[in-house]
A and B are shown apart, each in its own frame.
Chain A
Amino acid sequence: MEYLTFALGKGRLANKTLKMLEQIGIFCEEMKDRDSRKLLFVNEELKLRFFLSKGPDVPTYVEYGAADIGVVGKDTVMEEGRKLYEVLDLGFGKCRMCVCGPGSAKEVLQHKDLIRVATKYPNIARDYFFNKKHQTVEIIKLNGSIELAPIVGLADVIVDIVETGSTLRENGLEVLEEVCPLSARMVVNQISMKMEHERIMKIINDLRELMGKDLRKPKASFTQGGNHEDH
């Protein structure tokens, strides 16, 4: 049997995913050792391999087949635009992709005038402004603290992920428009899906069943907003 390899986006997403996978009997003891410097974790018995990578790299690993299965935010899936099967909405990590800015910027979004948009997600921003709003914009790619851009006058508005909106409020910004809702997605390499059909479908179906159960419970942990408390 060949190894089935999982690529997980580093951080909260990975922890949540591992917890979920454990509930369907997929786990990796090696990964629980927090001090380990290993990059690749193996469960020989189940022929599984796991690794953590930066979120935007997950779709790349999966597209090229270096990983069979990946778990990553919808934002990354959209931004990277790779050829993948997007098989499951894992239901956690829910948040929104929004256009934000000072309240006064509402006005500029109503016209077709050229405005500056700062974002970590140039592809998503471009698609939204060009194809949905038909507004010409100059996109400025930033790598972090996007909220700073409208405050110091680098951009009129930003396109960014909004969870609770507290960072925005503290800086005098607000959500102006919603681009789309986001959550964690499971993606699968298109060839692995065929060559490892049974194993992968079992994982998908088990997860689906698990989520179905949890949804029926009141205030289940991976329903809306459930993940924001456990920072």
Chain B
Amino acid sequence: MEGRLLHTPEGVRDIYEGECRRKLDLQEKMHRVFADYGYSDIQTPTFEYFDIFSREVGTTPSRDLFKFFDREGNTLVLRPDFTPSVVRSAAKYFGDAPLPVRLCYSGNAFINESAVYQGRLKETTQMGAELFGDQSLQADAEMIALTADALKASGLEKFQVEIGQVDFFKGLLEEAGFDQEEGERLRTLISQKSFFGIEEMLRAKSIDHSLKQVFLQLTEAFGGIEKILEARNWTKNERSQAAVSRLIDLYELLKEYQCQEFVSFDLGMLSKYKYYTGIIFRAYAYGMGQPLATGGRYDNLMGYFGKDSPAIGFVVSVDHLLAGLSRQGSPTPQAPKRQLLLFEKKAEKDAARYGSEERKAHRPVILLQRDPGRELDFYRQAAEKEESLSVIYMNENGRIEDRW
């Protein structure tokens, strides 16, 4: 029974000492970047009504949500991500704001991962930002620059922010006159970069040969800005054309943010979430199997909560980022210097006085009464094992007798 008490359930864990320091340090650095961009903090509840995270707005299938009931029998859900909650708050509190609203958050999200992913964490820390009420190109650029700057601030060296534009594909679908089911099948195939699958599907369709070629090319339409420039000539339909020009303009703007070196494009990046309406993006790093950050424009989502407002946002997975940083070998921040005041029982008042003054001066101090049965050497050895810990010995007369 005792051993069982010490275990945590599968998918959650303790974070302590060096790792915890690294995590907090990372969050602080990124938070500073959010603040520099003028985002204000918001905290939303850890659990909300099921409807907030339902199929229309959520990114997590219902069976992967942690669900429970309140006393009235309503279904409650531990948040699987923050965006729906932040959008709900924005609709509720800032729905009539005359100026664009910038919100950022940091906290834990919960996904009841299926058994296939046994070791995967069910509780993860996410940090993100959302910008409401600004449909401009500048807002797109800001969000990507913010993502890149936050990752840079974390100390991550080699990463890439890859940008897609869902409208390009949607324009092509309209041009081809595909129905929703065909569109969905094609979207899956393109997302899987399954060239041969698309070929097979389109073989039976009576659409223009050059349009077929464009769908096929989508599996390879990723890389630098040159890929996007190429795509300008692929199709004449207005929606796709507008999508491409917006990406080109975006790239020009990102140069001013000096983050073009981190940016690449993929016209075949298509999200299965219907609420994305413009650019979508993901950040990757070497050796990491999963994206570190994801984001995009979702101008219709606010409508679900009864307000109409364009919106764009992104989220960083702090845990993935931490893993990426340690793979890169980035150093753990030093533990803060602390002094251990070892005192004799008779000097307890002097020790308390000393401690309180040191703390006022922001010099961290820990008090410890010497056990008469222990030699000083015992404490000396124990302290040596600790990081950044110096020891001060106070004798019975309240005098500092030794330091080591």
Instruction: State the A residues within 8 Å of B (CB).
Output: 2, 63-66, 80-81, 84-89, 188-189, 191, 193-195, 197, 201, 208
Q: Which residues of B contact A195 (CB under 8 A)?
A: 160, 284, 286
A219 to B239, CA, bound (A): 46
Q: Which residues of B contact A63 (CB under 8 A)?
A: 289
In the assembled complex, the CB of A222 is this many whole angstroms from the nearest CB of chain B, namely 14
A189 to B286, CA, bound (A): 12
Instruction: State the B residues within 8 Å of A (CB).
Output: 116, 160, 162, 192-197, 219-220, 222-223, 264, 266, 284, 286-291
Selected from A81, A85, A89, A208, the residue in CB contact (under 8 A) with B193 is A85
Complex: chain B residue closest to A82, CB-CB:
B116
A200 to B287, CA, bound (A): 15
- Nearest 10 interchain pairs by C-beta: A65-B289, A85-B193, A89-B196, A64-B289, A86-B194, A86-B192, A191-B284, A87-B193, A195-B286, A85-B192
Q: Quick check: B193 and A188 within 8 Å, CB to CB?
A: yes
Q: Quick check: B288 and A194 within 8 Å, CB to CB?
A: no
Extra A-B contacts (20), CB below 8 Å, given A2-B287, A65-B287, A208-B195: A65-B288, A65-B289, A84-B192, A85-B192, A85-B194, A86-B194, A87-B195, A88-B196, A89-B196, A188-B193, A191-B284, A191-B288, A191-B289, A191-B291, A193-B193, A194-B222, A194-B284, A195-B286, A197-B222, A197-B223
A8 to B195, CA, bound (A): 21
In the assembled complex, the CB of B228 is this many whole angstroms from the nearest CB of chain A, namely 15
Q: Which residues of B contact A89 (CB under 8 A)?
A: 196
Selected from B116, B194, B266, B287, the residue in CB contact (under 8 A) with A194 is B266
Q: Quick check: B192 and A191 within 8 Å, CB to CB?
A: no
In the assembled complex, the CB of B326 is this many whole angstroms from the nearest CB of chain A, namely 15
In the assembled complex, the CB of B367 is this many whole angstroms from the nearest CB of chain A, namely 47
Q: Which residues of B contact A191 (CB under 8 A)?
A: 284, 288-291
Q: Which residues of A contact B192 (CB under 8 A)?
A: 84-86
In the assembled complex, the CB of B152 is this many whole angstroms from the nearest CB of chain A, namely 18
Q: Which residues of A contact B290 (CB under 8 A)?
A: 65, 191
Q: Quick check: B195 and A88 within 8 Å, CB to CB?
A: yes
Q: Which has the most chain A C-beta neighbours within 10 Å: B162, B195, B291?
A: B195
Q: Which residues of A contact B289 (CB under 8 A)?
A: 63-66, 189, 191
Q: Which residues of A contact B288 (CB under 8 A)?
A: 65, 191
Q: Which residues of A contact B116 (CB under 8 A)?
A: 80-81
A20 to B349, CA, bound (A): 82
In the assembled complex, the CB of A211 is this many whole angstroms from the nearest CB of chain B, namely 10
A197-B223, A201-B220 given; A2·B195 CB < 8 A:
no
A-B pairs with beta carbons under 8 Å apart, 18 shown? A63-B289, A64-B289, A65-B287, A65-B289, A80-B116, A85-B194, A87-B193, A188-B193, A191-B284, A191-B288, A193-B193, A194-B160, A195-B160, A195-B284, A195-B286, A197-B223, A201-B220, A208-B195
A87 to B197, CA, bound (A): 9
A141 to B33, CA, bound (A): 52
In the assembled complex, the CB of B63 is this many whole angstroms from the nearest CB of chain A, namely 14
A66 to B290, CA, bound (A): 12
Q: Which residues of B contact A85 (CB under 8 A)?
A: 192-194
In the assembled complex, the CB of B293 is this many whole angstroms from the nearest CB of chain A, namely 13
A80 to B162, CA, bound (A): 27
In the assembled complex, the CB of A183 is this many whole angstroms from the nearest CB of chain B, namely 10
In the assembled complex, the CB of A207 is this many whole angstroms from the nearest CB of chain B, namely 11
Complex: chain A residue closest to B197, CB-CB:
A86
Q: Which residues of B contact A87 (CB under 8 A)?
A: 193-195, 219
In the assembled complex, the CB of B262 is this many whole angstroms from the nearest CB of chain A, namely 12
Q: Quick check: B195 and A194 within 8 Å, CB to CB?
A: no
Q: Quick check: B284 and A2 within 8 Å, CB to CB?
A: no
Q: Which has the most chain B C-beta neighbours within 10 Å: A89, A191, A208?
A: A191
Complex: chain B residue closest to A89, CB-CB:
B196
A189 to B192, CA, bound (A): 10
A188 to B192, CA, bound (A): 9
Q: Which residues of A contact B196 (CB under 8 A)?
A: 88-89
Q: Which residues of A contact B223 (CB under 8 A)?
A: 197
Complex: chain B residue closest to A61, CB-CB:
B289
In the assembled complex, the CB of A138 is this many whole angstroms from the nearest CB of chain B, namely 19
In the assembled complex, the CB of A188 is this many whole angstroms from the nearest CB of chain B, namely 7
Q: Quick check: A2 and B286 within 8 Å, CB to CB?
A: yes
Q: Which residues of A contact B160 (CB under 8 A)?
A: 194-195
Q: Which residues of B contact A201 (CB under 8 A)?
A: 220
A81 to B61, CA, bound (A): 15
In the assembled complex, the CB of A56 is this many whole angstroms from the nearest CB of chain B, namely 11
Complex: chain A residue closest to B268, CB-CB:
A85
A168 to B266, CA, bound (A): 47
A208 to B196, CA, bound (A): 10
Q: Which residues of B contact A194 (CB under 8 A)?
A: 160, 162, 222, 264, 266, 284
Complex: chain A residue closest to B291, CB-CB:
A191
A197 to B220, CA, bound (A): 10
In the assembled complex, the CB of A105 is this many whole angstroms from the nearest CB of chain B, namely 31
Complex: chain B residue closest to A201, CB-CB:
B220
